[in-house]
Amino acid sequence: MISTLPFGRTGHASSRIIFGAAGLGRATPEQGAATLQVLLDRGINHIDTSLNYHDSEPRVGEWMKEHRSRFFLATKTASRKYDDAKRDLESSLQRLCVDYVDSWQFHNLIDNQEWEAAFAPDGVLKAAIEAREQGLVRHIGVTGHGFDAPVMHRRSLERFDFDSVLVPCNYVMMQDARYAADFGALLELARERHVAVQLIKAAARRPWGDRPRTRRSWYEPLEDPRAIELAVRWVLQFPDVFVINPSDVTLLPLILDAVDKPLTTPSMAEMEQLVRGFEIEPVFEGNRMLTPPQHA
C-alpha cells in the first residue's frame, strides 16, 4: 500500500501518489476498469481531474457512484470569470455524479492578464468562495505549468489563502538555477502556511517532436521501469510533496512500483546517467509547452 501524508491543512491523509485522471477519458473501458482496480488495490485515495480533460470527469463519475467515500476528489476550471466558473462547477458536479468536490482548482493560472481576471471582483475566486460557503467545494487550489509557475503561485498565495498548489518538478527542470530557487521559495512558503504541494512531470522524458506518439500524453514520458523509479524517487526527496502520475493510465502501475518499497534518493551520478541514457529534455520552453497539449 502506498504511504499517505496530510494533504496540507485539509484534514485528509492523501496517498503520496495522486491519480491524475487526465488520460482516463481517452482510455479504453478495459483500461479504465483496470485503473480503478489498481487504485483500490494499491491504496490510492486521491483523484485529480478537470472539466477540460475531455471525458475524464464522466469516467471518474462512474466510479463515484460506488466509491465516493474512498477518494479525495479534485477537479479544475480553466475559466477566469465568475459566471463561466459557476457554470463549470455545475457541469463538473453533474459529470462527476457528486454533490461536492473536495478541491476545486484554478487550472494553469500563470498568464498575468488571466491572473488579474481571476482575482477581479467578477472573477473565478468569487465563485470559488461562494461555492465553498455553499458546501459545493471544500477546498480551493491553484495549478500551473511552465517555469513561472512557482513565482505565480507565491503571488497567488499572497492574494488568497489557497489550500493547495500544483507545479512541475523533475531533475532536468531543477538544474535551472532560477527555477530551483523559485521552487524552493514556494515550498518554504507552502510549509509555513500548511499548503499542500503537488508535483507534475516527474517522469517526463522529452517533447514528442517528430516521433510517433505511442502514449496518451502530450509529452513523451519515461517508460523504462528503472528510469521511472529514479525519476520519481528523485522528486520524492522532498518529504512533504505529492506526485501526480503521467496522463497515460497504463504507466500508473510503474509509478506505484517506484515507491512501493523503502525510499532512497538517487545520487547525482545516477540522475546524470539517466538524463544521458534516455536523452531527457525539458518539456517546457519558458511557460510554453513545447508540444501543444491534448488534455493536460
Q: Tell me how far CA of residue 158 lies from CA of 60, 162, 185, 276, in angstroms.
A: 33, 9, 13, 39
- Each residue of 146-187: pLDDT tens digit? 999 999 999 999 999 999 999 999 999 999 999 999 999 999
- pLDDT of amino acid 292: 46
In this structure, how many other beta carbons lie within 10 angstroms of the beta carbon of residue 93?
A: 20
For the chain, the structural domain boundaries read 4-289
In the predicted structure, residue 290 carries a pLDDT above the cut 70? no
- Each residue of 76-103: pLDDT tens digit? 999 999 999 999 999 999 999 999 999 9
Q: What residues contact residue 264 under an 8 Å CB cut-off, 6+ apart?
A: 233
Buried b (16+ CB within 10 A) or exposed e, 137-167: bbbbbbbbbbbbbbbbbbebbeeeebbbbbb
- Each residue of 212-228: pLDDT tens digit? 887 777 789 999 999 99
DSSP E strands: which ranges in the chain?
A: 4-6, 13-15, 17-20, 46-48, 72-77, 101-106, 137-143, 164-168, 196-200, 204-207, 219-221, 241-244, 284-285, 288-289
- Each residue of 243-255: pLDDT tens digit? 999 888 999 999 9
H helix or E strand, kind and range, residue 56: helix 56-67
4 in Cβ contact with 16 (< 8 Å): yes
Of the candidate CATH numbers 3.40.50.300, 3.20.20.100, 3.40.50.2000, 3.60.20.40, the domain formed by 4-289 belongs to 3.20.20.100
Q: What residues contact residue 245 under an 8 Å CB cut-off, 6+ apart?
A: 17, 18, 19, 20, 203, 251, 252, 255
Q: CA 79, CA 88: separation in Å to the nearest integer? A: 8
- pLDDT of amino acid 210: 85
100 is written with which cell numbers?
461536492
Q: CA 250, CA 8: separation in Å to the nearest integer? A: 29
Tell me what the mean pLDDT of segment 275-284 comes to: 94
- Each residue of 52-64: pLDDT tens digit? 998 999 999 999 9
pTM recorded for the entire structure = 0.94
- pLDDT of amino acid 217: 79
Amino acid at 155: R
In this structure, how many other beta carbons lie within 10 angstroms of the beta carbon of residue 246?
A: 30
- pLDDT of amino acid 291: 52
- pLDDT of amino acid 66: 96
Amino acid at 250: T
